[in-house]
Structure 1
Amino acid sequence: MIGKILKGGSFGSKVDYVTREKHDKKIFTSDTWKILGSRGLMGEKRNQIVASFEAQAMQNRRIGNPAGHITLSFAADDKPKLSDEKMLKIALDYIKMMGLDKAQFLIVRHYETDKPHCHIVFNMVGDNGKRMESGRNRYRNKRVCEALTKRYRLALPKQETPDMEKLHGLERAKAEIKIAAAEALRNARNWNTFAALLARKNIHIIPKYRRGTNEMQGISFQSGDYKVKGSDVGEAFKFRNLDSYFSQSNRQAAPKKATVQTKSSQSGASSISDEAMRAVKVTATTAAGMVADIGESVGQFIGGLFQPGPAYDPEEERLAWELSHPKKKKPNRGIKR
């Protein structure tokens, strides 16, 4: 059993997803999902559920994103013994052990795949109006899943290749991106090769900037009409984790770090994000001939894509900070007699 904590989205979008409200009704019929249980909700219709969640969330408007979402996934081998009643019992035990039993929640099971799983949509605002801190505690989630796996003698879900025939829309695009990204990561030691291998399969890297700056904050993967955040593809495909991996690979391959200079804008500020965007675009358009040289300057740059420039020295910055923030001397009060 594995629990995955998901972030982002409103109560409306989460309820629509778990109840297949906005999905193709010819594929996701009423027998492909079922509400197993709930707490604190006015009814089982979509508008009633969403209104219930939103009404309680109004008790604490300081919580910016009160819609919680957790998936519980089980191994295919456990499917014969996971009746609706058994899955509900496990989900309720999970909710209690996570400390979410004093909040509103909705438990929905999906049947369209061979791997049994259910979704828990819950309110980050508890009955007392306070934040449910444990709702996004990944360490607690891991411990709870391990305990329940042992208690119910469950198997750990295997990393299996998903059945594409049973996936549609965003879910299919996400699965295709994950498979392609994992394969590209196994064969790439730098951003240049990684982006080129993905572009061969018409998947492009979309940089995300910190608001109002040119500072890289994250990446998404674009496949056709669908864009998926790196964190949604997998932990390994977050921007920082990928950049750290490629930086380490480059250091191992070349102990002597090459100096990479970036052009400055007219104002004199470094425009590393603009260079990164151009590099990714160039890589994408030349994916069919990846073996060919796509340009020494672009290759050098994207090999250490998004790394701090050579002028950045953490030790030097620390010393500069200490010099600008001198320690205050403690007063010598002497020995009282």
Structure 2
Amino acid sequence: MIAKILAKGAAADIVGYVMREFHDKEQFTDDTWRVIDSDGILGNDYRRIVDSFDIGASLNKRISKPIGHIAVSFDRADLPRLTDEFMVQLAKEYMECMGIRDTQYLIVRHLETGSPHFHIVYNRVNLHGKAIDESNNFDKSRDATKAIKLKYGLTFSPKKKLYEDAIAEMKPKIQAAMYRCKSWDEFRRRLSPAGITVEFYNDRDTGKPQGIRFSDGEFTFNGSKIDRAFSYRRLDKFFAKNAGIRETQPQQSAPISVATKVKESPVTNVVENVIETGCQAIGGLFQVGPGYDPEEQSFINRMKKKPKKKKADHCNGRFILTSQETRRED
């Protein structure tokens, strides 16, 4: 089972292709294809099916290419098992894994080739007018087909198995080579020991590099086929970003010494000085100096006291000394 995500477009074009509307009717007769399932579609003829998709797409006119298209093929060894009913079951499980739900779809089986396959045509605008989430579609498709093959015991083509194994082996090697890489030359040098070569293909009009391929000598893959991050455009931006970061950073930063003096905040210094000065002043009140004499200090204190005033008692001719503690007559 292999799923191929094809180009999006208008209903008239994609439905016309899967229903052989634009093919030679003598070669592609009615027995070379048939509709095996659908949902949200009014009628079975080409014109009504297209009208149905157009009506559904009108719920969200911001999507310019509203119709999705996926072809799913199988190994010839599985042909005896592939009834229309079984194909419909596989298609529904695949769509569920892809997040294609609550929307119109059409499943058409083609019989003119030796390889059994069917086409899924679906509306990228769901029944609620919202766009179907198609992020990481290629990764989801790969995981979905692998899970379905394992679940139903479908044939893994020997060539396909080698193909998938080669991708699985090359991907971590490419990721490792990308680490802190800042140029294409450096990238190539890192991949060379891993047995992987890098090739570019150019745009026909400009002659500038447009894409990239990786090869292990037996298989060659487009970068985006291995991983979306391995496209030429994304890798080029990745290397340019790394180069810019490395250029702005110093080659080797000087080690930080634990004895380095820390610059103190001016505010902190002022506060500390005030506290220190205050403590010195207060301490000075209680500090006994080296020339201090207790008796001399007591004499000085007595001399500083104001003399007591005497007042005459004219009533009895006596002088009385006023004191809070004692009273003595002369």
Find the counterpart in structure 2 of residue 25 from structure 1.
25
Query: Quick one: which amino acid aligns to residue 73 of structure 2?
Result: S
Find the counterpart in structure 2 of residue 11 from structure 1.
11
- Alpha-carbon shift at residue 99 of structure 1 (Å): 2.4
Following the alignment from structure 1 to structure 2, what is the Cα–Cα distance between the partners of residues 152 and 240? Answer: 26
Question: 1:208 and 1:73, CA in 2 relative to 1: closer, same or farther beyond 3 A?
Answer: farther
Find the counterpart in structure 1 of residue 193 from structure 2.
none
3-state SS of 2:221 partner: helix
Find the counterpart in structure 2 of residue 144 from structure 1.
144
- Alpha-carbon shift at residue 122 of structure 1 (Å): 0.3
1:207 aligns with 2:204: yes
Query: Quick one: which amino acid aligns to residue 221 of structure 2?
Result: A
CA deviations on 1:75-126 (whole Å, 9 max, x unpaired) are 1100011111111121122223322231110000001111111000001101
Consecutive unaligned residues of structure 2, counting only runs of 5 or more, are: 161-196, 213-218, 250-264, 269-330
- Alpha-carbon shift at residue 190 of structure 1 (Å): 9.2
3-state SS of 2:3 partner: strand
Find the counterpart in structure 1 of residue 82 from structure 2.
82
1:236 aligns with 2:221: yes
Following the alignment from structure 1 to structure 2, what is the Cα–Cα distance between the partners of residues 6 and 20? Answer: 17
Conservation of the 8 A alpha-carbon contact between 1:208 and 1:216? no
What is the number of residues matched between the two proteins? Answer: 203
- Alpha-carbon shift at residue 319 of structure 1 (Å): 6.0
Following the alignment from structure 2 to structure 1, what is the Cα–Cα distance between the partners of residues 241 and 96? Answer: 44
- Alpha-carbon shift at residue 7 of structure 1 (Å): 2.1
Query: Quick one: which amino acid aligns to residue 143 of structure 1?
Result: D
Query: Quick one: which amino acid aligns to residue 236 of structure 1?
Result: F
Following the alignment from structure 1 to structure 2, what is the Cα–Cα distance between the partners of residues 133 and 147? Answer: 20
With normalisation by structure 1, the TM-score equals 0.51
With normalisation by structure 2, the TM-score equals 0.52
Following the alignment from structure 1 to structure 2, what is the Cα–Cα distance between the partners of residues 190 and 137? Answer: 25
- Alpha-carbon shift at residue 68 of structure 1 (Å): 0.5
Find the counterpart in structure 1 of residue 163 from structure 2.
none
Query: Quick one: which amino acid aligns to residue 65 of structure 1?
Result: K
1:261-272 aligned at under 5 Å gives the runs none
CA deviations on 1:114-146 (whole Å, 9 max, x unpaired) are 111100000110111111114861222222212
Find the counterpart in structure 2 of residue 107 from structure 1.
107
1:133-282 aligned at under 5 Å gives the runs 133-134=133-134, 137-157=137-157, 159=159, 207=204, 217=210, 236=221
Find the counterpart in structure 1 of residue 320 from structure 2.
none
Conservation of the 8 A alpha-carbon contact between 1:106 and 1:121? yes
- Alpha-carbon shift at residue 157 of structure 1 (Å): 3.9
Question: 1:98 and 1:314, CA in 2 relative to 1: closer, same or farther beyond 3 A?
Answer: closer
Question: 1:156 and 1:190, CA in 2 relative to 1: closer, same or farther beyond 3 A?
Answer: closer
Question: 1:48 and 1:313, CA in 2 relative to 1: closer, same or farther beyond 3 A?
Answer: closer
Find the counterpart in structure 1 of residue 97 from structure 2.
97
Find the counterpart in structure 1 of residue 279 from structure 2.
none
Following the alignment from structure 2 to structure 1, what is the Cα–Cα distance between the partners of residues 125 and 139? Answer: 20
3-state SS of 1:236 partner: strand
Percent identity of equivalent pairs: 35
Find the counterpart in structure 2 of residue 43 from structure 1.
43
CA deviations on 1:280-323 (whole Å, 9 max, x unpaired) are xxxxxxxxxxxxxxxxxxxxxxxxxxxx9xxx97665456789x
Following the alignment from structure 1 to structure 2, what is the Cα–Cα distance between the partners of residues 102 and 64? Answer: 20
Question: 1:136 and 1:23, CA in 2 relative to 1: closer, same or farther beyond 3 A?
Answer: farther
Following the alignment from structure 1 to structure 2, what is the Cα–Cα distance between the partners of residues 128 and 153? Answer: 36
Following the alignment from structure 2 to structure 1, what is the Cα–Cα distance between the partners of residues 133 and 224? Answer: 26
Question: 1:78 and 1:6, CA in 2 relative to 1: closer, same or farther beyond 3 A?
Answer: same
Q: Which has the larger radius of gyration?
A: 2
3-state SS of 1:106 partner: strand
Question: 1:215 and 1:51, CA in 2 relative to 1: closer, same or farther beyond 3 A?
Answer: farther
Conservation of the 8 A alpha-carbon contact between 2:8 and 2:66? no
Question: 1:218 and 1:29, CA in 2 relative to 1: closer, same or farther beyond 3 A?
Answer: farther
Find the counterpart in structure 1 of residue 131 from structure 2.
131
Query: Quick one: which amino acid aligns to residue 75 of structure 2?
Result: A
CA deviations on 1:48-88 (whole Å, 9 max, x unpaired) are 11111111111112223221011111111000111111111
Conservation of the 8 A alpha-carbon contact between 2:9 and 2:66? no
Question: 1:239 and 1:88, CA in 2 relative to 1: closer, same or farther beyond 3 A?
Answer: closer
- Alpha-carbon shift at residue 31 of structure 1 (Å): 0.7
Question: 1:45 and 1:139, CA in 2 relative to 1: closer, same or farther beyond 3 A?
Answer: same
Conservation of the 8 A alpha-carbon contact between 1:2 and 1:145? yes
Question: 1:315 and 1:90, CA in 2 relative to 1: closer, same or farther beyond 3 A?
Answer: closer
Conservation of the 8 A alpha-carbon contact between 1:107 and 1:120? yes
Which one has more relative contact order, counting CA pairs under 8 Å at least 6 apart? 1
Following the alignment from structure 1 to structure 2, what is the Cα–Cα distance between the partners of residues 13 and 26? Answer: 20
Find the counterpart in structure 2 of residue 178 from structure 1.
none
Conservation of the 8 A alpha-carbon contact between 1:207 and 1:216? no
Query: Quick one: which amino acid aligns to residue 117 of structure 1?
Result: H
